[in-house]
Chain A
């Protein structure tokens, strides 16, 4: 840390140098970096799973992995990517770092709880790594009963315990954000002056708090049934495996909105700044965020259309799923309208942000296709579904995460990254992503089933294209490691506000001092007061900038 921050004035990075000052920190900014280290580690673990899957699927005959090992591989990929990367990614890193800064506070409401959340996350990671080390689990990340409870050969209890503990980390973080945003806003920071990123993190936190405990109970029931040999999902006792699915998806559907909402928040920040325009329809965007969060709880059984639920229930949930698309679509229209007559510059964060909007739109529209009962009967459990959710989670969330990472990199580290490398990586990401996942829509529609270790040879061409795309994507994701890492030591020093953005976080130094602000800021302006005519702006503390 000393070399990295050697020539920077005192900041949260240079305040203290000991290991204890990092591992026992109460500073939300340091905790954000701790989380960043953890989730990056798990991103690569999950990525290894993805690589092995795509290598396996180069050939129709399943030459690389045995069927049982393949099952363990896609299960590991799902569990790691969902709970150990996507769900914590933006909230625990960017959220932790930025929320107090954006609302003008000196820290979160409960700093020790924040640090505790990181330790609990790592504890859950240890449980997971242990489970993987002793052979993993082959149920799919969805743990469907009665296979997971009665018949699976892998370490279901280990995986269930890992995810159960991981849930506590989510809840601790969500609780902190909700209370902080309610109680610690600076004078003048009314709800309708909050950056949309804050709205998004607030909504995500509400969803985390309401949904995660249900998952906790569901997995506890699975683990107990497996341990005791009897349980509430056992068909022999009159138990209903669909009860598990209802409870699991009651959490897991809102969970996918946990994964996308923060990305939507980031997108609003990026697009407004690089188009030099206020976000179109701020109020609508804020309400759409809350609307998505609320309606996301009403749609869960659309994952179960072919599982055996009654057709009347299926119709109800299909209708609800159409409703949840409305606020999402409103957001896409408003981002597009924000671009209109803007003074657009294609910095790397903007490329990621624009990529986000396009890829999320494709993912979202295919979601509507899946919500349509007759279509779903045809494509459920095929690669169509896989392509749909990867467009949203990878094309959407990961793109936004990288965009946000680049956007706030100067603020977090005090350094500028090399712009040309970053733009190249962003474009490569977009191209590699589409090559990987668009063929999967076609494969799914043609009938290739998911979670199969081999497939009919007629599907090989599309699979080869997909795997080729995955190799490009791997390079594109690895590149930032190198040039961002380079920038830590040799990057140009960043000013307080290199992008000319309007949030409160840009009114303090890059990187910020430990207490964030020398004096508690007073908020005088709404966010996103950009002028596209000349690129001037008014930051939220009321100061006009040319």
Chain B
């Protein structure tokens, strides 16, 4: 049984897009984005992570059990971050310098 050779173009394109996003992230460092800074930077990082996961780590295709574990850690962190931050933001004197 001969399998069709897997095309490598998607990988190269993904790599190009990742490099582009890296450039954007570096550029954003020199812009005054104020409050939006972390959202831009982590947003770009999340996009890069998604491309790495979907293309390089071959998560493409119908959602499967792998998707659950791939996203599970990130999803679960939200509970730590979300519930944890409640303490600090509701303390008097927040934020401290």
Q: Which residues of A contact B4 (CB under 8 A)?
A: none
| Beta-carbon contacts under 8 Å, B41-97 to A | 65, 72-73, 76, 79-80, 83-84, 86-88, 90-92, 96
Question: What 0/1 pattern do residues 473 to 490 of A give for CB contact below 8 A with B?
Answer: 000000000000000000
Contact A313 B80 (CB under 8 A): no
Flag whether A192 is at the interface (Cβ < 8 A).
Answer: no
Known interface pairs A182-B65, A210-B73; A242-B79 also in contact (CB < 8 Å): no
Bound CA–CA A242/B65 (angstroms): 36
Complex partner residue of A316 from B73, B83, B91, CB under 8 angstroms = B83
Shortest A237–chain B CB gap in Å is 13
Flag whether A297 is at the interface (Cβ < 8 A).
Answer: yes
Q: Which residues of A contact B72 (CB under 8 A)?
A: 210
Q: Which residues of A contact B65 (CB under 8 A)?
A: 182
Contact B76 A312 (CB under 8 A): no
Q: Which residues of B contact A301 (CB under 8 A)?
A: 83, 87
Q: Which residues of B contact A246 (CB under 8 A)?
A: 84, 87
Bound CA–CA A316/B85 (angstroms): 12
Known interface pairs A210-B73, A210-B76; A298-B91 also in contact (CB < 8 Å): no
Shortest B63–chain A CB gap in Å is 15
Flag whether A309 is at the interface (Cβ < 8 A).
Answer: yes
Complex partner residue of B90 from A250, A298, A310, CB under 8 angstroms = A310
Contact B83 A298 (CB under 8 A): yes
Contact A242 B87 (CB under 8 A): yes
Q: Which residues of B contact A312 (CB under 8 A)?
A: 86, 90
Complex partner residue of A313 from B79, B90, B92, CB under 8 angstroms = B90
Flag whether A214 is at the interface (Cβ < 8 A).
Answer: yes
Q: Which residues of A contact B92 (CB under 8 A)?
A: 310
Shortest B57–chain A CB gap in Å is 17
Q: Which residues of A contact B73 (CB under 8 A)?
A: 210
Contact B80 A310 (CB under 8 A): no
The number of chain A residues touching the other chain, given as a range, is 10 to 19
Complex partner residue of B79 from A238, A298, A309, CB under 8 angstroms = A298
Bound CA–CA A182/B64 (angstroms): 12
Contact B79 A310 (CB under 8 A): no
Q: Which residues of B contact A309 (CB under 8 A)?
A: 87, 91
Q: Which residues of A contact B96 (CB under 8 A)?
A: 238
Bound CA–CA A301/B79 (angstroms): 13
Q: Which residues of B contact A311 (CB under 8 A)?
A: 90
Shortest A383–chain B CB gap in Å is 27
Complex partner residue of B80 from A242, A250, A316, A317, CB under 8 angstroms = A250
| Beta-carbon contacts under 8 Å, B3-51 to A | none
Known interface pairs A182-B65, A210-B73; A297-B87 also in contact (CB < 8 Å): no
| Beta-carbon contacts under 8 Å, A236-278 to B | 238, 242, 246, 250
Known interface pairs A210-B73, A297-B76; A310-B87 also in contact (CB < 8 Å): yes
Q: Which residues of B contact A316 (CB under 8 A)?
A: 83, 86
Shortest A445–chain B CB gap in Å is 28
| Beta-carbon contacts under 8 Å, A305-340 to B | 309-313, 316-317, 320
Q: Which residues of A contact B83 (CB under 8 A)?
A: 298, 300-301, 316-317, 320
Q: Which residues of B contact A298 (CB under 8 A)?
A: 79, 83
Shortest A248–chain B CB gap in Å is 12
Contact A310 B91 (CB under 8 A): yes
Q: Which residues of A contact B84 (CB under 8 A)?
A: 246, 250
Bound CA–CA A317/B84 (angstroms): 10
Shortest B65–chain A CB gap in Å is 6
Contact B76 A313 (CB under 8 A): no
Contact B87 A214 (CB under 8 A): no
Bound CA–CA A182/B65 (angstroms): 9
Q: Which residues of A contact B91 (CB under 8 A)?
A: 309-310
With both beta carbons as reference points, the residue of chain B lying nearest to A297 in the complex is identified as B79
Bound CA–CA A486/B73 (angstroms): 47
Bound CA–CA A96/B9 (angstroms): 45
| Beta-carbon contacts under 8 Å, A159-195 to B | 182
Bound CA–CA A52/B96 (angstroms): 46
With both beta carbons as reference points, the residue of chain B lying nearest to A238 in the complex is identified as B96
| Beta-carbon contacts under 8 Å, A199-231 to B | 210, 214
Q: Which residues of B contact A242 (CB under 8 A)?
A: 87
Bound CA–CA A313/B80 (angstroms): 13
With both beta carbons as reference points, the residue of chain B lying nearest to A206 in the complex is identified as B72
Known interface pairs A182-B65, A310-B91; A214-B86 also in contact (CB < 8 Å): no
Bound CA–CA A313/B73 (angstroms): 24
Seen from chain A, the residues whose Cβ lies within 8 Å of a Cβ on chain B are 182, 210, 214, 238, 242, 246, 250, 297-298, 300-301, 309-313, 316-317, 320
Seen from chain B, the residues whose Cβ lies within 8 Å of a Cβ on chain A are 65, 72-73, 76, 79-80, 83-84, 86-88, 90-92, 96
- A sample of 13 more A-B contacts (CB under 8 A), given A210-B76, A242-B87, A246-B87, is A210-B72, A250-B84, A297-B76, A297-B79, A298-B79, A298-B83, A309-B87, A310-B86, A310-B87, A312-B90, A313-B86, A316-B86, A320-B83
List the 10 closest pairs (A to B, CB-CB), nearest first: A312-B90, A310-B90, A313-B87, A309-B87, A313-B86, A310-B91, A210-B76, A246-B84, A310-B87, A297-B79
Can you list 12 A-B pairs with a CB-CB distance of less than 8 A?
A182-B65, A210-B72, A210-B73, A214-B80, A242-B87, A300-B83, A301-B83, A301-B87, A309-B87, A312-B86, A316-B83, A316-B86
